[in-house]
Structure 1
Amino acid sequence: MIPISIIIILLSLTPRSNSHSFSSRFLDSILQDHAFRSIPPHRPKTGVIYDGTPPSNLTGVSISALRLRTGSLRRRGYNGYKQFIIPNGVIEHPFVERVILVYHNLGNWSDVYYPLPGFVYLSPVVGLLGYNAVDLTAKDLPELDLRWPEDPVLIKFESLNVLPSGSSPVCVFFDLFGGVAFDKVVNGSVCKSVSQGHFGLVVEDISPSPAPSPEMLPENPIAGAGGGGGRRGNNNNNKGWWVGGSVAGGVALVALVVVLVLWVRWCRGAKRIEKMTVAAERGDPLAVAAVGSADVPVAMGTRTKPVLESEYVT
């Protein structure tokens, strides 16, 4: 269990993967654009919450936009922006005259964009991000750096999933740079933060790991007759490695035999050429046979028997 006495535990050893971090940041950009569209382009009201419409492929996500003067936000804060209670004393960087606070509620998309292995979400992930309000048609805006050094922002979670028996909920915080931190819960379902980001209530997943389904194991009646399912799976894996190694060994053996045969043929040809070269250099005499009273050289044999011209005369 995570010790609740620790205020914040940074998960520096288990950061989220770059792919998930990239996808969540891309989602922030898309939701910023759609939240800005909810604000009327002509004479937008300050201090009014405008509910936006998310993309059609993100059913279950809700977004809102709140336009405020930074001076007013710094002096009075804002009480009751959805789940957020925003205190006074905010510090923004860089300085802007007006700020738009964009609210996210990811609903059933929380696990998709903010996966947290080993934990189960009791609440949807909600977010609060600040942008410069100078241009209501701007897209891909960078977030302002909003911080509350005096009093933290409070996030009240009301609709929660059933808490597993013997488990204690904790707050989880996702910053804009892929970092993750845990904090203790206040008053049962309230989280605190001194900066903007995304928040949720989670609990450790204490459910046992599911056993492998029988359908996933290869069917092998012979191997199954000798032992249990787990051992049969190991035998099948070993058999697979053995078959693969046998095939690879057979291919290597055939290639070696072919190389040896070619090498032997090459050696024989080289020796034959060497013998012919030696014989030509020594000038071996032809065989001698007696013809009449004289010895004349003769060939050892011919393919065509010589024929006298008289034989062609009929």
Structure 2
Amino acid sequence: MGSKKSCLIIFMVFSLLLSSIVFTGSDTYDTKALDSLFYYHANQTMAQYQTGSLTQVSLPFNFSGMNVFVIALRSGSLWSKGINSSFIEILSKVMTLPYLKRLVVVYHNLGKWSSKYSKVPGYSLVSPVVGFNVYDSSNTTTLSNKKVTLNTTSEPISIYFSYVEAEDKNVTKFKCIKFGGGGLVKINNTTKMNVCVTKTLGSFSVAASSMAKKKRRIWKWWVIGFVAGGVGVVVLVLAGVAIVNTWKRKKIKTMEKESETGMTLDTVWVGGDKMPSASMIRTQPILEHDYVS
């Protein structure tokens, strides 16, 4: 009983240590350490595998959101039937290199952590990072830590993505990204929006050009600026018209006020015309001299 408890404690400590080395910085993962993490936990649950069935692997709590699944197969089954699941499709007539009696396919989906996996200059990821590796399971109690390859010269492998987050669903604008060792990436065209095809193992994602997105954003701001400028011109014109009308009304009121305080003239009819006429003589006539000679 004590030995089992000690083994459990060692397992938990080792798991946490392995989880901690996955992070190389605040924004990215160490991809090799991440593969080692998946392999380690897949190996720990090997006793639960059922040949031909998809089995989910439990990960440490601090990797919540990532999903790992395994499929245990015999080489004969892989050759005759291939693999067809909602994650991956490998057609028949495929064999391992080197030849193995038994193999385990370890499939991973990084989910919400995909953006921290790797950066692709000029592109933004629009799907989760998914991928798979193949290990020798000829020993039914433990996995070999050496990855094996698949002979897929005849037919490619299809990788399915659970979702693609993009406003524009035009498949011609999407690219398949294959992440390689040392931060290397390989970019290929997609045949379908949520499917990438490959002949090699590794991690994959769907990406869209960030330059196209930037151009759309610039064009959007141009449209907004044009509309705002047009509205501004209309507002200025209306304000100018209002100011002119106010000035005219004020001038008319001033003229009316001046006319009211001025002298009022009577009118008389001369012929057929109405003419102003003074009601009184303002200056009385006087003689220039006080006497008349």
Q: Using the alignment, how far apart are the partners of 1:143 and 1:33 within structure 2? A: 13
User: 1:65 deviation in Å?
Assistant: 0.8
Which stretch of the first structure deviates more once superposed, 172-181 or 119-128? 172-181
Q: Using the alignment, how far apart are the partners of 2:179 and 2:173 within structure 1? A: 20
Secondary structure of 1:187's counterpart equals coil
Which stretch of the first structure deviates more once superposed, 177-186 or 158-167? 158-167
- Is 1:74–2:79 an aligned residue pair? yes
Stretches of structure 1 that go unaligned for 5 or more consecutive residues are 1-17, 211-314
Q: Using the alignment, how far apart are the partners of 1:39 and 1:140 within structure 2? A: 12
TM-score (norm 1): 0.54
Does the CA contact (< 8 Å) of 1:68 and 1:100 recur in 2?
A: yes
- Residue number in structure 1 paired with 2:31: 24
Q: 1:39 aligns with which of 29, 42, 46?
A: 46
Which stretch of the first structure deviates more once superposed, 171-180 or 135-144? 135-144
**Following superposition of structure 1 onto structure 2, how do residues 152-191 of structure 1 map, counting pairs within 5 Å?**
152-164=156-168, 168-176=173-181, 178-191=183-196
User: 1:136 deviation in Å?
Assistant: 5.8
> What amino acid is the match of 1:130?
V
Stretches of structure 2 that go unaligned for 5 or more consecutive residues are 1-23, 218-293
Secondary structure of 2:71's counterpart equals strand
> What amino acid is the match of 1:74?
W
TM-score (norm 2): 0.58
* Residues 147 and 112 of structure 1, relative CA distance in 2, 3 Å threshold: farther
Partner deviation per Cα, 1:15-60 (whole Å, 9 max, x = no partner): xxx999981011101111112333325xx42101110111222121
Secondary structure of 1:116's counterpart equals coil
> What amino acid is the match of 2:34?
L
- Is 1:105–2:105 an aligned residue pair? no
Q: 2:123 aligns with which of 93, 112, 119?
A: 119
- Residue number in structure 2 paired with 1:96: 100
Does the CA contact (< 8 Å) of 1:29 and 1:140 recur in 2?
A: no
State the identity %.
Answer: 27
* Residues 148 and 165 of structure 1, relative CA distance in 2, 3 Å threshold: closer
Q: 1:196 aligns with which of 182, 194, 201?
A: 201
> What amino acid is the match of 2:98?
P
Structure in which a larger fraction of residues adopt helix: 2
- Residue number in structure 2 paired with 1:85: 89
Does the CA contact (< 8 Å) of 2:78 and 2:95 recur in 1?
A: no
Partner deviation per Cα, 1:106-133 (whole Å, 9 max, x = no partner): 1122222222232111110101110011
**For this pair of structures, how many residues does the alignment match?**
190
> What amino acid is the match of 1:191?
C
Q: Using the alignment, how far apart are the partners of 1:139 and 1:121 within structure 2? A: 32
Q: 1:48 aligns with which of 30, 35, 53?
A: 53
User: 1:160 deviation in Å?
Assistant: 1.4
- Residue number in structure 2 paired with 1:261: none
> What amino acid is the match of 1:73?
L
> What amino acid is the match of 1:67?
A
Q: Using the alignment, how far apart are the partners of 2:117 and 2:130 within structure 1? A: 12
